[in-house]
């Protein structure tokens, strides 16, 4: 595991000057791109595979493997950068765009070269007005210096860069909704298959990657896949950004090795729970991911440990009945790296209700179980939070959540159902206490 | 009365369309432009976007109503958007929302208030976006001061 002083994507945080291309180059920037352009495409993909870099947007899928899904016969493809950051508790991509735009452009260019992309599109969340203007300026600088456009740095490789703004819709972070939105449509997720790598943006083979994912690519191109893998733990290469918010002394963005313990992050790096209070629980990967109790927080934050550690009690669909996902008990997941910490005074019913209102608001409405189910969950948990729960409400939440899970076009349905089930699995008595018994 | 884009806006729109393989792909940028030009996205603004891009008004309407950032109704000088999602809620997001609503009830022309979802600023809660600008680490006192200042500026 890496020394905790090692930084990759946050190394220029706090350095105002590094936003300009001149300073970025002076610090060694765009050397990785030069090296990549002189390397065989297949060799780059092999290094990224070896690095065991996994997607930082939420699903944790192997980046190198994803790149190989572009059909061999495809003459060209598109690379889409997902900068729609909207998962509650997550605030890294906004900072990355503003602090180190050229690292993202460089990483995206290496990826685009590897997959023969003719265009890179970035989808920037609409609210990020300031970040959009910083990033758009960086793209202009990169064009002016010949890093973008026709025959980049005198090579055979040409690539255009299009900066696109969203307009306010969490669902557009989901990759197929994002593609529809980029095409100028409502952000409705598409049925898969076909997967974007085969038929994506404007019908072309398309790879969608998260901002943080791509910003690790120049380091891999420079130092090699093995070196990156060695920074983390097996199958989970490198460092990852944890966005810590809620009841900690020092909330913020922490770039730490993959195997670090969640409890250590809270107690050591973030200065512990605020005001000397006790830890009650934490959400490890954005609001879509099942919550952990204080006792369960002493686990490594890598994708596999959070999914499989026996220290984490499996989520139940009803008392005593373990809920399975992907052939194994659902525990939790690393998701987007958004860590929300709760102290002992937290009203978990109020937190759960707020999360349910979020999903009800953001459901795109295409699937009945999601549209109706999230609305029900929001209404029932909110009345419980207000102390007006009715007899049977706890069981009703459970059955509504079960009807959503696995029955929808996109994972937003699960993203509402899983936390609901997890809150009930871990904090059921608190919910039961909100039921108003006969007056 | 039908709305017409300014010459500069039309030029900008043509440049935007040229970057995409289809005119439809310029729907979102065109609606952003319309909001900037006309203040909000009225039915007339939707017609203007549709005719500029050669798309059906129904398509543009469907898109304009799907996304939260397009204001279908006029907003005050300052659109105060308070995040009340979990991290902000833990730090007083709802108290901030009440402060903003109180300010708007006194000066509705100046302030329009919306409760919004996570603004990706959870480490510096409470986050309040006023028009394009983020204001972080807000609390009741700081927000009252900010709105007081904006109110005086008008
Ligand atoms: C409802 C929903 C919202 C999502 N939001 C985001 C997002 O804001 N940013 C992001 O990178 N990925 C988001 N994702 C994941 C993307 O669908 C996709 O997996 C990811 O962008 C792929 O990039 P990666 O492999 O580099 O992680 C979301 C997924 C779902 C289901
Ligand atoms: S699961 Fe929900 S958000 Fe996803 S496509 Fe269905 S209705 Fe839309
Ligand atoms: S919860 Fe308010 S900015 Fe994320």
Distance from CA of A286 to the nearest CA of B (A): 10
Give the separation between CA B13 and CA B51, rounded to whole angstroms.
12
Q: Which two tokens stand for residue A409?
A: 């076009």
pLDDT for the residue A411: 97
Give the separation between CA A63 and CA A49, rounded to whole angstroms.
7
Give the separation between CA A273 and CA A266, rounded to whole angstroms.
7
First CA to last CA distance, chain A: 59
| Residue to test with chain A: of B60, B114, B115, B123, most A Cβ within 10 A | B123
CB-based burial label for B144 (10 Å; 0-12, 13-18, 19+): middle
Judge contact between A97 and A212, C-beta under 8 A.
no
Q: Which among A129, A41, A125, A59 is positioned nearest to A307, based on CA atoms?
A: A59
- Mean pLDDT on A424-435: 97
Atom of ligand 1 nearest to the CA of A173: 5
Judge contact between A65 and A49, C-beta under 8 A.
yes
Structure confidence by residue, pLDDT tens digits, A102-139? 999 999 999 999 999 999 999 999 999 999 999 999 99
Structure confidence by residue, pLDDT tens digits, A200-235? 999 999 999 999 999 999 999 999 999 999 999 999
pLDDT for the residue A4: 72
Judge contact between A36 and A30, C-beta under 8 A.
no
Q: How remote is the CA of residue A55 from the centroid of ligand 1, in Å?
A: 9
Contacts of A156 (CB under 8 A, 6+ apart): none
Locate tokens 């939420």: which residue? Answer: A58
- Per cent of chain A over pLDDT 90 is 97
Q: Does residue A2 surpass a pLDDT of 90?
A: no
pLDDT for the residue A291: 98
- Per cent of chain A over pLDDT 70 is 100
**In this structure, what are the phi and psi dihedrals at residue A216, rounded to the nearest 5 degrees?**
-85, -15
pTM tops 0.90: yes
CB-CB neighbors (< 8 A) of A84 in chain B: none
Give the separation between CA A292 and CA A16, rounded to whole angstroms.
37
Across the interface, of A165, A245, A351, the residue whose CB is closest to B122 is: A245
Q: 10 Å Cβ neighbour count for A159?
A: 21
> Which residues lie with the beta carbon below 6 Å from any ligand 3 atom?
A 88; B 83, 85-88, 118-122, 125, 127
CB-based contact, B80 to chain A, within 8 Å: no
Crossing angle between the packed helical segments A101-114 and A129-144, to the nearest 10 degrees: 60
Cα–Cα distance list, B149 to A106, B81, B95, B143, B144 (Å) = 42, 17, 19, 10, 9
Q: 10 Å Cβ neighbour count for A377?
A: 26
Give the separation between CA B72 and CA A194, rounded to whole angstroms.
35
Q: Which among A82, A69, A160, A81 is positioned nearest to A115, based on CA atoms?
A: A69
Cα–Cα distance list, A152 to A19, A106, A138, A147 (Å) = 21, 12, 16, 5
Largest CA distance in chain B: 50
Mean pLDDT for chain A overall: 97
**Cross-strand pairs, B69:** none
Is A410 close to ligand 2, i.e. is its CB under 6 Å away?
A: yes
Does B119 contact A251 at a Cβ distance shorter than 8 Å? no
Q: Which two tokens stand for residue A124?
A: 């920037």
**In this structure, what are the phi and psi dihedrals at residue A277, rounded to the nearest 5 degrees?**
-80, 170
CB-based contact, B75 to chain A, within 8 Å: no
Structure confidence by residue, pLDDT tens digits, B124-154? 999 999 999 999 999 999 999 999 999 998 7
Q: Does residue A438 surpass a pLDDT of 60?
A: no
CB-CB neighbors (< 8 A) of B45 in chain A: none
- Mean pLDDT on A251-276: 97
Q: Which among A288, A321, A290 is positioned nearest to A306, based on CA atoms?
A: A290
Tell me the residue length of chain A: 439
Place B1 in a pLDDT band, splitting at 50, 70 and 90: confident
Does A183 contact B22 at a Cβ distance shorter than 8 Å? yes
Give the separation between CA A345 and CA B139, rounded to whole angstroms.
19
Residue A182 has, within 13 A of its CA and on its CB side, a CA count of 31
Locate tokens 């629980």: which residue? Answer: A281
Is A287 close to ligand 2, i.e. is its CB under 6 Å away?
A: no
Give the separation between CA A132 and CA B96, rounded to whole angstroms.
27
Coil, strand, or helix at residue A382? helix
Structure confidence by residue, pLDDT tens digits, A340-399? 999 999 999 999 999 999 999 999 999 999 999 999 999 999 999 999 999 999 999 999
CB-based burial label for A274 (10 Å; 0-12, 13-18, 19+): middle
Judge contact between A270 and A250, C-beta under 8 A.
yes
Structure confidence by residue, pLDDT tens digits, A146-196? 999 999 999 999 999 999 999 999 999 999 999 999 999 999 999 999 999
Q: Does residue B110 surpass a pLDDT of 90?
A: yes
Structure confidence by residue, pLDDT tens digits, A83-97? 999 999 999 999 999
């Amino acid at each position: 595991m890496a020394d905790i002083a090692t930084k990759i994507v946050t190394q220029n945080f706090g350095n105002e000057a590094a936003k300009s291309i001149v300073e970025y180059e002076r610090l060694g920037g765009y050397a990785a791109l030069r090296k990549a352009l002189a390397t065989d495409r297949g060799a780059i993909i092999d290094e990224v595979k070896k690095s065991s870099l996994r997607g930082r947007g939420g699903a944790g899928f192997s980046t190198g493997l994803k790149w190989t899904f572009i059909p061999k016969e495809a003459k060209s493809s598109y690379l889409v950068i997902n900068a729609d950051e909207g998962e509650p508790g997550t605030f890294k991509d906004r900072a990355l765009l503003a602090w180190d735009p050229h690292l993202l452009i460089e990483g995206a260019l290496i990826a685009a070269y590897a997959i023969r992309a003719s265009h890179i599109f970035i989808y920037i969340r609409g609210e990020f007005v300031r970040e959009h203007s910083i990033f758009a300026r960086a793209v202009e600088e990169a064009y002016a210096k010949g890093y973008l456009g026709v025959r980049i740095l005198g090579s055979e490789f040409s690539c255009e860069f299009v900066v696109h703004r969203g307009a306010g819709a969490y669902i557009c972070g989901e990759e197929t909704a994002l593609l529809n939105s980029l095409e100028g449509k409502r952000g409705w997720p598409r049925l898969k298959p076909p997967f974007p790598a085969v038929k994506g943006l404007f019908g072309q083979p398309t790879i969608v990657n998260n901002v943080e994912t791509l910003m690790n690519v120049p380091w891999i191109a420079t130092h090699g896949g093995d070196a990156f893998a060695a920074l983390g733990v097996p199958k989970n290469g490198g460092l990852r950004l944890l966005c810590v918010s809620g009841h900690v002394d020092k909330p913020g963005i922490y770039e730490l090795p993959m195997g670090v313990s969640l409890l250590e992050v809270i107690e050591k790096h973030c200065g512990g729970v605020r005001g000397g209070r006790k830890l009650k629980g934490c959400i490890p990967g954005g609001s879509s991911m099942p919550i952990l109790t204080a006792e369960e927080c002493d686990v490594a934050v890598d994708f596999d440990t959070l999914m499989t550690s026996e220290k984490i009690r499996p989520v139940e669909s009803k008392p005593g009945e373990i809920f399975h996902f992907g052939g194994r008990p659902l525990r939790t997941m690393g998701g987007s790296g958004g860590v929300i910490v709760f102290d002992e005074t937290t009203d978990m019913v109020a937190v759960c209700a707020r999360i349910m209102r979020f999903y009800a608001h953001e459901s795109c409405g295409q699937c009945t179980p999601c549209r109706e189910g999230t609305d029900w969950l929001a209404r029932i948990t909110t009345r419980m939070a207000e102390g007006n729960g009715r007899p049977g409400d706890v069981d009703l939440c459970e059955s509504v959540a079960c009807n959503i899970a696995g029955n929808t076009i996109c994972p937003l349905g699960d993203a509402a159902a899983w936390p609901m089930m997890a809150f009930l699995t871990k904090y059921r008595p608190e919910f039961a206490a909100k039921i108003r018994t006969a007056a | 009365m039908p709305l017409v884009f300014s010459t500069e806006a039309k030029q900008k729109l043509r440049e935007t369309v040229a970057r995409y393989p289809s005119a439809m792909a310029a729907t979102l940028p065109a609606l952003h432009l319309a909001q900037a030009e006309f203040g909000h996205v009225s039915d007339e603004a939707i017609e203007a976007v549709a005719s500029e891009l050669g798309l059906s008004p129904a398509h543009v309407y469907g898109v304009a109503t799907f996304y939260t950032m397009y204001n279908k109704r006029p907003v005050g000088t300052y659109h105060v958007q308070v995040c009340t999602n979990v991290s902000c809620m833990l730090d007083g997001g709802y108290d901030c929302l009440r402060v903003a609503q109180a300010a708007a009830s006194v000066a509705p022309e100046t302030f329009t208030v919306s409760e919004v979802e996570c603004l990706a600023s959870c480490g510096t809660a409470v986050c309040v976006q006023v028009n394009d600008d983020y204001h972080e680490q807000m609390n009741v006192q700081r927000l009252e001061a900010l709105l007081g200042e904006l109110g005086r500026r008008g």
